[in-house]
A and B are shown apart, each in its own frame.
Chain A
Amino acid sequence: MFEGVPVHWFLVLATTMFFIGIYGFLVRKNLITMLMSLELILNSVCINFVAFNKILFPEHLEGMFFTLFIIAVAAAEASVAIAIIINIYRRLVNIDVEKMNEMKY
């Protein structure tokens, strides 16, 4: 499907996604959107792994396996994060990070 696509195209795609994720994580105020930015970061890593595996090292499947594990762990991480966010919502009736400023310098 991607025959002849050079590896650096994938790298550019993944890097762009990674930094969009970092930007979103730093700029967004809503916890759910921050979680989505985190998923974007993890997915950019997945693209990197799959592209490297498919194009540069097709004889082993290490990159593919790593991607599968990243997806599973990201799901676990998201579920714990959402559980904590629900708890926050019950306490504050709000999921704005700016409101979470009880502890500061």
Chain B
Amino acid sequence: MLIMRHELLLIAITVILLLVEIFLPGDKKSRVITLAILLMTAVLILGFVPGPSGTLFGGMYQTTALISMLKNILNIGALIVMIQSADWLRKPENKEKISEYYILLLSTLIGMQYMLSSGDFLMFYLGLELATIPLAALAAFERFKEKSAEAGVKFIFSSALSSGILLYGLSMIYGTTGTLYFAEVGPAFTGTPLQVLGFIFFFAGMAFKISLVPFHLWTADVYEGAPVNISSYLSVVSKGAAAFILTILLFTVFSKIALMWSNVLYIIIILTITMGNLFAIRQQNLKRFLAFSSIAQAGFILLGIIGQSQYGMTTVIYFVLVYIFSNLGAFGVVSIISNRTGCETINDYDGLYRTNPRLAMMMMLSLFSLAGIPPVAGFFGKFFLFAAAANHGLYILVLIAIINTIISLYYYLLVIKAMFLNRSDRPIPKFKSDFYTSLGLILCLAGIFAVGIASTIFEAINGLSFGLY
């Protein structure tokens, strides 16, 4: 019971929301928002209570202190997304679908948590699909918008293809090792040609989920078409979960072919960071812009994995935690402005500082954190990632990454320039954010500063991580 506490709590609140949806009269449906957020807060707090580690179902399910902590990080991200979607859900066209939205969102979160604690490739696959299929329904959530339907179709088809490719790789791994348990595949995985082929297929499937470069083409279209809050969920929680499980698998199951996968990662990192940055420069729509910036950030996350050490894993987790706060901050501002005014391009943001100074400040701090400018947490996240790769002796790679950070600074500053320096004839009108949006943005702001300053967080993560050597 207690070993599976995170998932059971989430399943419990999903069932509660379903029952509330059935029994609540139609005119009180908007109360579900408050209820869902309160329940999720309770789950988040209960998740921090230390519990036992162990395995269940004959080793198919496992949990350790590290995995519990990763689940808590995902819970934080999901809670902030739930808070930020409140304003959007109150719109008249979404009023009927509030609990639907939260149930789908929570079931993807359950899928991600099962994926993180899987001890077997079957469990891993089920978790992955549970995390993916409801997200497609969420991407197509705005049924009367053509763009949303297009985003849904693009997402379900590319993710189904990617999981097909991943499964084909898994079947080869099964054929050569004779087992699907992580603990038994690891020692048997010696790097025979068929195993390497299987690993490549498997890695391609995972790279789809994290949107690394040869497999990134769905990202921008889906992020632009889907509702803003779903884009933020996709870019933060979904990507974070996939990055965590990829790190764990590469460090345990595929540890014997570390030399091979670090060569693969080396090329993919350079491609991902460079392509993400270069495409982000020419975007006008802010959602597309953040999509390409999140592709580049995924490349930075891999820098920690290629470091192969305990320190490397710590930096991956730490960076994802920082990235949750900074990206959700940026997406939160885009979301509230898109809800109130429908403006989504960078030119619309001209002169935002004069009309909505607090939103402009929040956006600036989030973008500074994404770019990695010192006072905010993003700087420490990137710095530690570079240090992890440099400790492994990959100086050229780190140099390329640093050059790319400078390029990324250019396009982040373009948005800041539009908000603070440009003047506009028709600026975005002044409006007052509702309670939940302010709360979500304040949480992000607190995270951006607190995670960077409190070194205990980094120490705590470091105490639980493990590395190849």
**B338 located at the interface, meaning its Cβ lies under 8 Å from any Cβ of chain A in the complex:** no
Q: Which of A42, A69, A81, A87 contacts B143 (CB 8 A)?
A: A87
Q: A45-B167, A80-B156 are in contact. Are A88 and B180 (CB under 8 A)?
A: no
- Contact (Cβ within 8 A) B180 A62: yes
Q: Which B residues have a C-beta under 8 Å from some C-beta of A? A: 121-122, 125-126, 129, 133, 136-137, 140, 143, 146-147, 149-154, 156-157, 160-161, 163-165, 167-168, 170-172, 174-175, 178-180, 220-221, 224-225, 279
Q: A25-B161, A80-B156, A84-B152 are in contact. Are A69 and B171 (CB under 8 A)?
A: no
How far, in angstroms, from A19 to B151 measured CA to CA in the complex?
Answer: 26
Count the A residues whose beta carbon is within 8 Å of the partner chain — how many? 42
- Contact (Cβ within 8 A) B221 A103: yes
In the bound complex, residues from chain A placing their C-beta under 8 Å from that of B121 are 66
Q: A49-B174, A63-B174, A76-B133 are in contact. Are A42 and B167 (CB under 8 A)?
A: yes
How far, in angstroms, from A80 to B125 measured CA to CA in the complex?
Answer: 18
- Contact (Cβ within 8 A) B129 A66: no
Q: What sequence of 0s and 1s flags, for each residue 73-102 of chain A, a beta carbon within 8 Å of any chain B beta carbon?
A: 100110011011101100110000000101
- Contact (Cβ within 8 A) A45 B168: yes
In the bound complex, residues from chain B placing their C-beta under 8 Å from that of A49 are 171, 174
Sample of 19 A–B contacts (CB below 8 Å) = A25-B161, A41-B165, A45-B164, A45-B167, A45-B171, A48-B172, A56-B175, A66-B174, A69-B126, A70-B125, A80-B133, A80-B136, A83-B137, A84-B137, A85-B153, A88-B149, A88-B150, A102-B225, A103-B150
How far, in angstroms, from A14 to B151 measured CA to CA in the complex?
Answer: 31
How near does chain B come to A40, taking the closest CB pair, in angstroms?
Answer: 9
How near does chain B come to A56, taking the closest CB pair, in angstroms?
Answer: 7
In the bound complex, residues from chain A placing their C-beta under 8 Å from that of B170 are 45, 66
- Contact (Cβ within 8 A) B122 A84: no
How far, in angstroms, from A49 to B156 measured CA to CA in the complex?
Answer: 24
> Chain A: which residue is nearest B146 at the CB level?
A91
In the bound complex, residues from chain A placing their C-beta under 8 Å from that of B165 are 41
Q: Which of B126, B133, B164, B172 contacts A41 (CB 8 A)?
A: B164
In the bound complex, residues from chain B placing their C-beta under 8 Å from that of A34 are 157
- Contact (Cβ within 8 A) B160 A81: yes
**A20 located at the interface, meaning its Cβ lies under 8 Å from any Cβ of chain B in the complex:** no
How far, in angstroms, from A41 to B205 measured CA to CA in the complex?
Answer: 13
- Contact (Cβ within 8 A) A52 B174: yes
- Contact (Cβ within 8 A) B153 A31: yes
- Contact (Cβ within 8 A) B174 A84: no
- Contact (Cβ within 8 A) B167 A77: no
How far, in angstroms, from A48 to B403 measured CA to CA in the complex?
Answer: 45
Q: What sequence of 0s and 1s flags, for each residue 46-71 of chain A, a beta carbon within 8 Å of any chain B beta carbon?
A: 00110010001100101101100110
> Chain B: which residue is nearest A73 at the CB level?
B129
How far, in angstroms, from A73 to B159 measured CA to CA in the complex?
Answer: 13
- Contact (Cβ within 8 A) B224 A103: yes
Q: Which of A66, A73, A100 contacts B153 (CB 8 A)?
A: A100
- Contact (Cβ within 8 A) A81 B175: no
How far, in angstroms, from A87 to B149 measured CA to CA in the complex?
Answer: 7
In the bound complex, residues from chain B placing their C-beta under 8 Å from that of A105 are 220, 279
How far, in angstroms, from A73 to B140 measured CA to CA in the complex?
Answer: 20
How near does chain B come to A89, taking the closest CB pair, in angstroms?
Answer: 9
